[in-house]
Structure 1
């Protein structure tokens, strides 16, 4: 349980907004995420301190640095405006002077070491440490949707957790990581000079939508589909009746998996750590369903879907500090009986590696058919699919607020997705986060460990 100590609203300093208002249109990369559930992340830091020190020193500093950070990320202080006259207008992000971000301050008596462990823990308890996005509000011509909310929770004498919840349409993982690292840097150094000067100022976010080329008017096509779906406030999916656990693939494990794939498929390229990790988890997951008593048609298709940052993959390329969504996707599909079979891991690795080689890393193919993404998404309703939240490329744990690197990252991965990040326990290793029923988690853990042996 977490006890709420304070709820406050943090605004950018007035000097950060000369015009008093900023509007940013949504691109066709942003619009498909409008009705997606919020992305929830938790960063746990080892930092033993008292409640008085936390409230008198740490919290005021976090508030001040957050305000200064928002000066550079004005759209996060604002709202997504969903037009009621949808025939004439498209949604936009709008910031006006006085807009703010909700920040909650809390304290918990939960066992910090239990929470940052890797073993199976009650999934629902983590929702105490991540805030809900404020509800949708009605204006005469718009519905306004807050795009981010924050919570800082103290575990007295042990550590601090910072919880983030953001609307996916405002930005992808690359963008949100940039914001979190900026806040961490400004908090650690007591000002934004270090952030502004680092890498020649190239960390400053770019909101200019003209860098996204859309000659086919895909944004209008996507909006035509999305405006038919009622806009709703988000809510926590509790009770989930699930447990959360983290599984580590050490560098030696990853090498063994790569060697196994290449021994059976010597001509295969793109056999990366991402490929062998995700294909191994995917095959173990499919096998664990049967071990847990699920009845599955052996001929049903199993899908694996992963997001792809295409900033550097499209022509012309988009700057790395572009703030927004800039995602395509990769996909593999395999019959259940093949994936659940003895060679399921190798078959999965081949399918994922081939998609990365032939489409994801091919500038002529990665955006091909983008105008059909919305219709194609509807085809995946009800299919058996595994998705991925996070990436080893986006190291959230290196966000140092002055307390060192985070000890643990938890991403709200549901039962149809896995989270993936660099391991804080194993140099060169990767951490996989999963959330299943207790029975399925136990079956998965046995199959995962046996396969590595």
Structure 2
């Protein structure tokens, strides 16, 4: 059971300057995407007294100091009712909802890798504040935070944010900055400069000059903002699978030595072999439980910061990722050579999109919404996260997180991917599936690695 201890709102210091950010076409692409939800669990034997008198004040102070440099997160997404373009805006007085709670639930169950009921995690996630309806626009809050005490055992940090404000590179930089400020008790002076955000939207060159407006005209009619997607986790179970460095190397060798025709794979990488292995295991799981055959899809995003002309700084805050698509019939995925074929396919998609012609990485940007619209979402595996963003670095003064959970994967059929807590060269894969499919996947995943 989870009991709320305190609800409050935390604002940046009074001296914070107001800020308005137009939405680029990268931002606009995520207009109707569900909120991003993350949970971090920390093993930290904290008493109720220490939580109330030390942790809660420290959290409030550190959130305020972090927001001083990440103002868009404290603001609102301005959704106009007329013909104006939307924007993100921070005004003095804007703030973030922060909830403090206490739980007597089983901490070890929540932080395990085995399949767990997805419903168990939602009491630790904050809900975004209600939308404010004005005559000229809607004000849609961007970020909410919840900190929950498991007395004498641990603490969890839950975050919910709208994707329109920024991609994982941006929001994880906020998380790490906030954690560093909380740990060291300082302000911006304690932060590595690489975490300080850059907001200059002029750095994003619209390829045709009007892509953002076209996206707005296409997508605005579909935006519903069912902000918390409370029913998506029904009948789902969450599990984490660790891909060891040795297994990754064996999978790479398997592809390199395969007899797949024209085996000139452009991109045999950790990403391609891990993605292909999970995708083929899922296809086999679907087949084993009698799901209908058909086309299967894999969608992932790539960071375009270094690929823009000129390249963007790594600390650019906002969205700067675009989608990549692969598809194969399930019957092909589950064949004996299906894994090698799938690695090659994903590698070719990456090569064509990012490396074949570096001057035209945005050549099909106008078609991104229609490409997404052609996908059968109930037959799609997406990718959330990246090993490039080491969430296990987020230390609030309680040590390294014991467990990270990407809760958003309950909503969209994605797999989550991040560095392992215990080894930078191992990977953690998160999935949320119906119980029968999760059981099938776990067996196929384990048995497949055993014979590689």
Matched residue, 1:225? 218
Gap change, CA 1:339 and 1:127, over 3 Å in 2: same
Residue number among 116, 123, 147 corresponding to 1:121 in the alignment: 116
State how 1:293-442 maps to structure 2 within 5 Å: 293-296=290-293, 300-362=294-356, 363-382=358-377, 384-412=379-407, 413-414=409-410, 416-442=413-439
Q: Equivalent of 1:236, from 225, 229, 234? A: 229
1-structure distance, mates of 2:415, 2:449: 19
Other structure's SS at 2:257 match: helix
CA distance in 2, matches of 1:383, 1:166: 24
CA contact (8 A) 1:10 1:101 kept: yes
Q: CA deviation at 1:270?
A: 1.8
Q: Is the 8 A contact 1:251 1:427 kept in 2?
A: no
The answer for the alignment partner of 2:138 in structure 1 is 143
CA shift, 1:257, in A, is 0.6
Does structure 2 conserve the Cα–Cα contact (< 8 Å) formed by 1:185 and 1:192?
no
Residue 214 to residue 189, structure 1, CA distance change in 2 (3 Å): same
Partner Cα separation in structure 1 for residue 397 and residue 355 of structure 2 = 37
Cα contact 2:78–2:140 (8 A) shared by 1: yes
Match status 1:105 vs 2:100: yes
TM-score computed with the length of structure 2 as normaliser: 0.95
Bigger shift: 222-231 or 97-106? 222-231
Deviation at 1:377, TM superposition (A): 1.9
- Does 2:4 correspond to 1:4? yes
From 200, 224, 242, the equivalent of 1:208 is: 200
Deviations 1:352-396 (A, max 9, x none): 111112223342342111112122221124562110111101111
Q: Is the 8 A contact 2:34 2:229 kept in 1?
A: no
Structure 1: segments with no counterpart, 5+ residues:
none
SS at match of 1:302: strand
Cα distance, 1:90–1:171 mapped onto 2, change above 3 Å: same
For 1:13, the equivalent position in structure 2 comes to 13
- Residue in 2 that maps onto 1:275: 272
- In 2, are the aligned partners of 1:309 and 1:327 still within 8 Å (CA)? yes
- Residue equivalent to 2:50: 53
Cα separation, 2, equivalents of 1:67 and 1:188: 14
Counterparts of 1:408 and 1:172, CA distance in 2: 21
User: Separation in 2 of the partners of 1:285 and 1:54?
Assistant: 42
Aligned partners of 2:223 and 2:175: how far apart in 1?
A: 31
Aligned to 1:443: 440
Question: C-alpha distance in 1, partners of 2:368/2:223?
Answer: 20
Query: 2:2–2:101: 8 Å Cα contact kept in structure 1?
Result: yes
Does the residue aligned with 2:140 lie in a helix, a strand or coil?
strand
Deviates more, 1:229-238 or 1:210-219: 229-238
Q: Distance in 2 between matches of 1:195 and 1:352?
A: 41
Aligned-partner Cα distance in 2 for 1:155–1:236 = 26
Answer whether contact 1:131 1:164 (CA < 8 A) is retained: yes
Report deviation, 1:274.
0.9
Q: 1:437 to 1:215 in 2, by over 3 A?
A: closer
Give secondary structure in 2 for the equivalent of 1:163: strand
Q: Secondary structure at the match of 2:305?
A: coil
Question: CA 1:257 to 1:246, structure 2 compared with 1: closer, same or farther past 3 Å?
Answer: same
Aligned-pair CA distance for 1:228? 1.7
TM-score normalized with structure 1 length: 0.94
**Is the CA contact 1:389–1:417 (under 8 Å) kept in the aligned structure 2?**
yes
CA distance in 2, matches of 1:188, 1:437: 39
Q: How many residues align?
A: 442
Structure 1 333/68 Cα, relative in aligned 2: closer, same or farther at 3 Å? Answer: same
Whether contact under 8 Å (1:303, 1:384) holds in the other structure is: yes
Q: Distance in 2 between matches of 1:233 and 1:15?
A: 34
